[in-house]
């Protein structure tokens, strides 16, 4: 192999760093597989793997091992050059140190399977990734694939083309007489796919060889069923808009927000996917004005309903009489009505909402839609549906229903927003802490199930680390997230900071959030009530003290509390070393890494007594004095 990198008479002993680099040059590839090396020198795969592993041990080459498929590349010490290896027929992409731009392109059509924390990423291209790719035409998608991969991969592109065509086999339209019609690309699709898969009363009658009359109240069910069968349904129904509602925005849109509005107008429905702080709510206001019809806004909490009400008054020409709230505290139906998902899902209220012809329904935090009670709101009649989310991921893996029930994703690259300065790119640091004492470790070893998870989450060593972090960031606005109430109370007492949980009365909760926004509080401790949608601008530090067993979406939301254009933003994830929290911490931050957020692991600091000084002297008020 030393003399000729393709010599079939070579053996594994001939593999040295020089021969390896010659092989890369001969194949004009940035990386090679073990099988390719073995084939080139005529030895067994096992022998080639052993020889290459010795070069890795000597830091002469690098290795990634997705599911045992070793990929070998030049040593990356002193080099930041990205390397991509594509397994076209298997639809897998192995990326070593991909640039943020490359990762942004990959997320448009591929799913991140794993990352090794050292710059290595493994992506898989799945059916749903192509079905939900945010492109209007196949050439646009193909151009992005080639741009990301740097070359044309025929097997992969043929498969992508097949999935693209599959996603355009069925569509819903409105007949000139007003009823809903399912159109299929062929008679075979209608007769051998749609009719057998759907319940008898979903399709009321066939109209022609490729068309059938659909029961009005079964369209959501039809779309779900065919999606699960592998056939996404395009929705081109001509729905009524209801009464007109003309108003203007009183602020200037960012370029990408204006682009969202145009793309939504072209699609008719869709989901805005962008990081917290990117202005999805403002873009939604622009879409509302563009639609020009009465609007129902659905939110997960009363706090968000109030927040929407305030933003509508501040940023549009709508009058107070045109905006209503409908939830446990208020019952107002107005041209723009803001309701909670739970209230809208109740039968006695849903009939009231369904009797009104909405021009637009906005689903804030749209990842709630697949859950049983929230899904009921997806059947409400409206011409347009708009979802808002930082991440559509749900741990039940039914996130595809979001796009089925609401619309396909419309978004922009997170990295582009970071680079343009619209959103502060947070740095995420995972710190693994020892146990507070041997007694706590022994209690953990003896515990089982939920108790084991709670003991790791509430490790007392975290309180000291939190104090040290806040001491390091003196003067910064900080949020500490917890899952367990007793832990939240203990941390709040240590910091002389308020603790906000679901048990905090609504009025007091609102006052504390307002004081944090205005800068009169610089530190708050919150339970899950702070995870979603609450607008807390200028937050510079977020600390996840517990809750690592929660969802990837929750991790994104908490990191998102620091995504604001205010300079350097940091998120700290605290996990107990030697517990399941270690694995949870890495898994929950992987989704952020896929979006271009920098994630690193670090040792805890050694905090002296000064780090335990509370921050109440600079804007933090003890709980009892608020």
Whether 409 and 270 have beta carbons less than 8 Å apart is answered as yes
Exposure of 266 in the CB half-sphere (CA atoms within 13 A) = 13
Strand partners of residue 478: 523, 541
Helices and strands (DSSP H and E) totals, the chain? 25, 26
The answer to pTM > 0.75 is no
Nearest-angstrom CA–CA distance, 210 and 531: 47
Whether 338 and 299 have beta carbons less than 8 Å apart is answered as yes
- 3 state DSSP class of 101: helix
Q: What is the dihedral of CA 547, 373, 290, 243, to 10 degrees?
A: -150
Strands across the sheet with 111-115, in order?
83-87, 92-96, 120-124, 111-115
DSSP E strands, 309-380? 323-326, 336-340, 358-364
DSSP E strands, 434-492? 478-481
Contacts of 157 (CB under 8 A, 6+ apart): 142, 145
Nearest-angstrom CA–CA distance, 535 and 422: 16
Nearest-angstrom CA–CA distance, 615 and 332: 42
Q: How far, CA to CA in Å, does 618 sit from each of 572, 615, 621, 622?
A: 22, 6, 9, 12
Cα–Cα–Cα angle for 329, 334, 340, rounded to 5 degrees: 40
CA 45 distance to own-chain centroid: 39
Strand partners of residue 182: 172, 212
What size, in residues, is the chain? 626
Q: What is the pLDDT of residues 377-430, one digit of tens each?
A: 666 778 888 988 875 433 334 455 666 677 777 866 555 665 666 665 567 888
Nearest-angstrom CA–CA distance, 480 and 478: 7
pLDDT at 295: 93
Nearest-angstrom CA–CA distance, 586 and 551: 12
Domains and CATH numbers, the chain: 12-129+141-147 (1.10.10.10), 168-231 (no CATH), 255-413 (3.40.50.300), 424-625 (3.40.50.300)
Q: How would you class 602 by CB atoms within 10 Å of its CB: exposed for 0-12, middle for 13-18, buried for 19 or more?
A: exposed
Nearest-angstrom CA–CA distance, 276 and 423: 8
> In the numeric block, which tokens belong to residue 526?
């919150």
- How many CB atoms within 10 Å of residue 622? 14
Q: What is the largest CA-CA distance in the chain?
A: 85
pLDDT at 496: 92
Closest CA to 499 of 507, 542, 491, 466: 491
Strand partners of residue 181: 173, 213
Strands across the sheet with 523-526, in order?
499-500, 523-526, 478-481, 541-544, 569-576, 426-433, 598-602
Strands across the sheet with 32-33, in order?
32-33, 71-74, 61-64
pLDDT at 494: 92
Closest CA to 38 of 20, 26, 21: 20
Chunked in runs of 10, what are the mean pLDDT values of the chain (626 residues)?
Answer: 43 75 69 80 83 79 64 58 84 83 80 74 88 82 89 92 91 89 94 92 92 88 86 78 85 87 86 78 93 91 87 94 87 90 78 80 80 66 82 45 73 61 70 89 87 89 92 89 90 93 83 86 82 62 73 42 50 88 75 65 62 38 33
Radius of gyration of the chain (CA): 27
Nearest-angstrom CA–CA distance, 24 and 176: 62
Q: What is the dihedral of CA 82, 129, 164, 259, to 10 degrees?
A: -80
Q: How far, CA to CA in Å, does 32 sit from each of 39, 89, 152?
A: 11, 16, 17
Strand partners of residue 363: 298, 387
- 3 state DSSP class of 97: coil
Backbone angles phi, psi at 203, to 5 degrees: -95, 115
Nearest-angstrom CA–CA distance, 313 and 268: 26
Backbone angles phi, psi at 153, to 5 degrees: -115, 105
Nearest-angstrom CA–CA distance, 626 and 622: 7
Torsion sign over Cα 564, 285, 366, 454? positive
Whether 208 and 214 have beta carbons less than 8 Å apart is answered as no
Q: What is the dihedral of CA 393, 399, 405, 408, to 10 degrees?
A: 70
> In the numeric block, which tokens belong to residue 151?
């070359």
- 3 state DSSP class of 201: coil
């Amino acid at each position: 192999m030393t003399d000729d990198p393709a010599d079939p008479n070579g053996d594994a002993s001939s593999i040295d760093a020089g021969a390896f680099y010659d092989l890369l040059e001969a194949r004009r590839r940035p990386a090679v597989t073990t099988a390719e090396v073995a084939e080139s020198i005529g030895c067994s795969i096992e022998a080639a793997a052993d020889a290459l592993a010795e070069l890795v041990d000597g830091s002469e080459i690098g290795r990634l091992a997705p599911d045992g498929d070793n990929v070998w590349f030049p040593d990356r010490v002193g080099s930041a050059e990205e390397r991509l290896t594509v397994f076209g027929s298997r639809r897998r992409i192995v990326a070593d140190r991909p640039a943020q731009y490359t990762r942004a392109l990959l997320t448009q059509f591929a799913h991140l399977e794993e990352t090794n924390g050292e710059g290595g990423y493994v992506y898989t291209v799945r059916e749903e990734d192509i079905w939900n790719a945010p492109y209007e035409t196949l050439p646009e998608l193909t151009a992005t694939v080639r741009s990301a991969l740097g070359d044309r991969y025929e097997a992969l592109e043929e498969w992508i083309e097949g999935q693209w065509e599959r996603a355009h086999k069925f569509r819903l339209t409105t007949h000139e007489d007003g009823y809903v019609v399912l159109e299929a690309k062929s008679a075979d699709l209608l007769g051998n796919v749609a009719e057998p898969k759907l319940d008898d009363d979903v399709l009321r009658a066939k109209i022609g060889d490729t068309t059938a009359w659909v029961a009005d109240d079964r369209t959501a069910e039809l779309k779900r069923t065919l999606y699960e069968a592998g056939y996404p349904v395009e929705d081109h129904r001509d729905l009524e808009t209801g009464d007109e509602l003309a108003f203007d925005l009183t602020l200037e849109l960012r370029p990408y927000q204006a682009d969202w509005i145009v793309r939504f107008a072209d699609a008719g429905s869709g989901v805005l996917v962008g990081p917290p702080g990117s202005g999805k709510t403002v873009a939604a206001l622009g879409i509302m004005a563009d639609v020009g019809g009465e609007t129902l806004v659905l939110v997960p909490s009363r706090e968000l309903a109030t927040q929407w009400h305030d933003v509508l008054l501040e940023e549009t020409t709508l009058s107070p009489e045109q905006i209503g709230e409908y939830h446990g505290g208020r019952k107002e139906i107005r041209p723009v009505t803001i309701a909670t998902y739970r209230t809208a899902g109740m039968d006695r209220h849903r009939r009231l909402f369904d009797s009104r012809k909405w021009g637009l329904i906005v689903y804030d935090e749209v990842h709630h839609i697949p859950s049983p009670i929230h899904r009921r709101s997806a059947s409400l009649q409206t011409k347009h549906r708009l979802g808002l989310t930082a991440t559509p991921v749900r741990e039940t893996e039914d996130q595809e229903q979001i796009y089925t029930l609401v619309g396909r994703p419309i978004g922009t690259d997170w990295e582009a927003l970071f680079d343009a300065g619209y959103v502060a790119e947070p740095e995420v640091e995972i710190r693994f802490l020892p146990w507070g004492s041997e007694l706590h470790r022994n209690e953990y070893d003896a515990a089982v199930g939920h108790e084991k998870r709670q003991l790791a989450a509430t490790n007392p060593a975290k309180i000291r680390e939190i104090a040290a972090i806040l001491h390091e960031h003196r003067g910064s606005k900080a949020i500490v997230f917890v899952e367990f109430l007793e832990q939240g109370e203990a941390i709040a007492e240590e910091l002389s900071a308020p603790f906000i949980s679901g048990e905090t009365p609504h009025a007091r909760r609102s006052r504390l959030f307002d004081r944090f926004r205005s800068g009169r509080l610089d530190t708050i401790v919150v339970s899950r009530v702070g995870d979603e949608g609450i607008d807390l601008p200028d937050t510079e530090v977020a600390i996840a003290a517990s809750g690592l067993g929660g969802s990837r979406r929750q991790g994104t939301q908490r990191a998102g509390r620091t995504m604001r254009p205010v300079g350097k933003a940091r998120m700290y994830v605290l996990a107990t070393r030697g517990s399941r929290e270690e694995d949870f911490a890495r898994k929950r931050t992987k989704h952020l890494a896929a979006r271009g957020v920098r994630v690193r692991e670090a040792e805890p600091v050694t905090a002296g007594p000064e780090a335990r000084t509370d921050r109440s002297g600079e804007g933090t008020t003890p709980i009892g004095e608020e």
